[in-house]
């Protein structure tokens, strides 16, 4: 019999060794051609609560909670136990022919939290596959309904929806399409609803009017009979935590309803507590979408899982159609994974057992303390909601013009933050913060102090 693996006492690769092995054999996500398949990235060895420990043994606050996902924090014994127990009870079953208890129980609980008539869930392996599923479902629906031309997908500049072909085609951040192909014939993009970058002299309300008007004009120009879906992150996350103007999402929803265009809320980041709610669409923005995509925080990153909440009205319309034998030929080997769903159930317990309330209680303090960084001349704006925020640096505070890319100010701040004990997510001129939801006021204080010192160091370098 093989010896039991003793993870706690297992020999660790040295930090250098892990990075060197990765450099030799890994193609890392989002590489550039010049170092693809040969890039050294720092190793993270362990995690505990809001902290991770890097390969040199330094303890760092996990400012982005991994990738906006470690919502309940690292090293949760109760999640580790569920992973073990579910693997021992049932590690896998084919979702093609069978079902399992955790996925059904989780579906019931998600439906209870979801707005409107989003009573059903299709499970996927993450966010990209969730978005891809929602889009393919829209295509299937319109094919079955006898309107195969109603397929155009409307997304926004600045948005991010994934890395599979169709989901990636929706992305609208700088560099997303510079060297990558995309399904341009299937997608139309609207302006980014970023109040900070609205035209000079325009009020936020006027800016909102213009955005809604732009959508109305697009519907008129392309024809409502050609537009299948509008997809939006309620708050654009990796585009720079862009909180849209008040009323924007509801007004876009109204336009969608008027023209039978499906509204897909991409809540891969905003769900599972980031804004203090299980789903933010209705509770925070008064929005009832036709579908909600989710991933990340559903398992706090302990297991890859995502899904799409789907309106029962849409499902009923399929059941009532003239093509009852039309097949939604779409499914993933790991759809409804019992371990992922069991972890998600326990993760939901933790969120409901006080963590959502904690987020609601502490968000104001988090935003206020980060906002104080606007006193630094390099900082153009600090914005956010709940426990997600973005610090945007500018060339000068009068014009708010962006800094040139070559200055790599986000990376500079990140480097200084790491020296001082904080991981941040650098995005060109921005740093994004979305810590584990368990963060305390004292830890927020530490985070802001490190950011303040690091931005000052970056300013010294740039003069």
Residues forming the site for ligand PLP (CB under 6 A) = 67, 126-128, 131, 160-163, 233, 237-238, 266, 268-269, 295
CB of 455 to ligand PLP, least distance (A): 25
Contacts of 172 (CB under 8 A, 6+ apart): 155, 156, 157, 158, 159, 160, 189, 192, 239
Q: Outline where 351-423 has alpha helix (H).
A: 356-371, 409-420
In this structure, the number of other CB atoms found within 10 A of the CB of residue 217 comes to 11
For residues 202 and 208, give the distance between their C-alpha atoms in angstroms, rounded to a whole number: 10
The nearer residue to ligand PLP, 40 or 67, going by C-beta atoms, is: 67
Q: How far is the CB of 47 from ligand PLP (least distance, A)?
A: 19
Exposure string over 346-376, b if 16+ CB within 10 A, otherwise e: bbbebbeeebbebbeebbeebbebbbebeeb
Minimum CB–partner distance for residue 258 and ligand PLP (Å): 26
| Token pair of 21 as six digits | 């092995």
**For ligand PLP, which is the closer residue by CB, 307 or 402?**
307
Closer CB to ligand PLP, 269 or 280, in the complex: 269
> Residue 128 or residue 281: which is nearer to ligand PLP going by CB?
128
The nearest distance, CB 269 to ligand PLP, in angstroms, is 5
* Least distance from ligand PLP to the Cβ atom of residue 295, Å: 5
Q: How far is the CB of 71 from ligand PLP (least distance, A)?
A: 13
Q: Least separation, in Å, of the C-beta of 127 and ligand PLP? A: 2
Which lies closer to ligand PLP via its Cβ, residue 276 or residue 412?
A: 276
For ligand PLP, give the closer residue by CB, 268 or 448: 268
Taking the least distance from each CB to ligand PLP, the nearer of 144 and 233 is 233
Q: Least distance to ligand PLP from the beta carbon of 60, Å?
A: 21
What whole-number distance in Å separates Cα of residue 436 and Cα of residue 72?
6
Using CA atoms, how far residue 87 sits from 5, 68, 80, 338, in Å, is 16, 26, 11, 8
Cβ proximity to ligand PLP: between 49 and 307 the closer is 307
Q: Is 422 helix (H, G, I), strand (E, B) or coil?
A: strand
* Secondary structure class of 39 (helix, strand, coil): coil
| Pick 163 or 418: Cβ nearer ligand PLP | 163
Which residues lie closer than 8 Å to 272 by C-beta, 6 or more apart? 71, 278, 294, 296, 297, 298, 300, 347, 348, 351
CB 296, min distance to ligand PLP, A:
6
Q: φ and ψ at 222, to 5 degrees?
A: -85, -25
**CA 265/CA 270 separation, integer angstroms:** 10
CB nearer to ligand PLP: pick between 68 and 448: 68
In angstroms, give the least distance from the CB of 443 to ligand PLP: 24
Of 453, 446, 445, 308, nearest in space to 376 by CA: 453
Quick one: tokens of 173?
């951040």
Torsion, Cα 399 404 405 409, to 10 degrees, reads -70
């Amino acid at each position: 019999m093989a010896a039991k693996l003793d993870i706690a006492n297992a020999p660790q690769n040295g930090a250098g060794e892990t990075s060197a092995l990765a450099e030799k054999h890994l193609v890392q996500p989002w590489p550039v051609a010049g170092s693809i398949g040969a890039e050294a990235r720092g190793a993270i060895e362990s995690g505990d609560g809001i902290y991770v420990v890097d390969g040199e043994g330094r303890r760092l606050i996990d400012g982005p909670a991994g990738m906006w996902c470690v919502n309940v924090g690292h090293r949760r014994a109760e999640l580790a136990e569920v992973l073990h127990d579910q693997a021992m009870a049932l590690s896998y079953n084919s979702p093609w022919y069978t079902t399992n208890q955790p996925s059904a129980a989780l579906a019931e609980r998600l439906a209870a939290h979801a707005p409107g008539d989003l009573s059903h869930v299709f499970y996927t392996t993450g966010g990209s596959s969730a978005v891809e599923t929602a889009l393919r479902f829209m295509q299937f629906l319109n094919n079955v309904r006898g309107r195969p031309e109603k397929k155009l997908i409307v997304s926004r500049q600045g948005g991010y929806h994934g890395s599979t072909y169709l989901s990636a085609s929706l992305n609208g951040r700088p560099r997303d399409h510079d060297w990558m192909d995309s399904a341009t014939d299937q997608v139309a993009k609207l302006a980014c609803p970023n109040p900070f970058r609205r035209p000079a002299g325009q009020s936020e309300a006027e800016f909102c009017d213009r955005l809604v008007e732009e959508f109305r004009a697009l519907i008129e120009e392309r024809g409502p009979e050609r537009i299948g879906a509008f997809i939006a992150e309620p708050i654009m996350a990796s585009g720079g935590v862009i909180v849209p103007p008040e009323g924007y999402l509801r007004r876009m929803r109204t336009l969608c309803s008027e023209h039978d265009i499906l509204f897909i809320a991409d809540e891969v980041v905003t769900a599972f507590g980031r804004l203090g709610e299980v789903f933010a669409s209705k509770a925070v923005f008064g929005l009832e979408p036709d579908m909600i995509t989710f991933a990340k925080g559903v398992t706090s990153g302990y297991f890859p899982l995502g899904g799409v909440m789907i309106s029962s009205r849409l499902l009923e319309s399929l059941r009532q159609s003239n093509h009852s034998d039309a097949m939604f030929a779409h499914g993933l080997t790991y759809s409804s994974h019992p371990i992922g769903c069991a972890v998600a159930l326990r993760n939901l317990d933790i969120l409901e057992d006080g963590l959502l309330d904690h987020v609601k209680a502490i968000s104001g303090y988090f935003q206020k303390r980060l906002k104080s960084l606007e006193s630094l001349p390099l900082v153009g704006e600090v914005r956010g909601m709940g426990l997600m925020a973005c610090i945007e640096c500018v060339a000068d505070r009068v014009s708010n013009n962006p800094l040139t890319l070559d200055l790599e100010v986000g990376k500079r701040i990140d480097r200084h933050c790491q020296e001082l004990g904080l991981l941040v997510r650098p995005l060109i001129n921005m740093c994004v913060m979305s810590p584990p939801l368990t963060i305390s006021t004292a830890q927020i204080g530490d985070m802001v102090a490190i950011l303040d010192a690091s931005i000052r160091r970056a300013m010294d370098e740039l003069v």
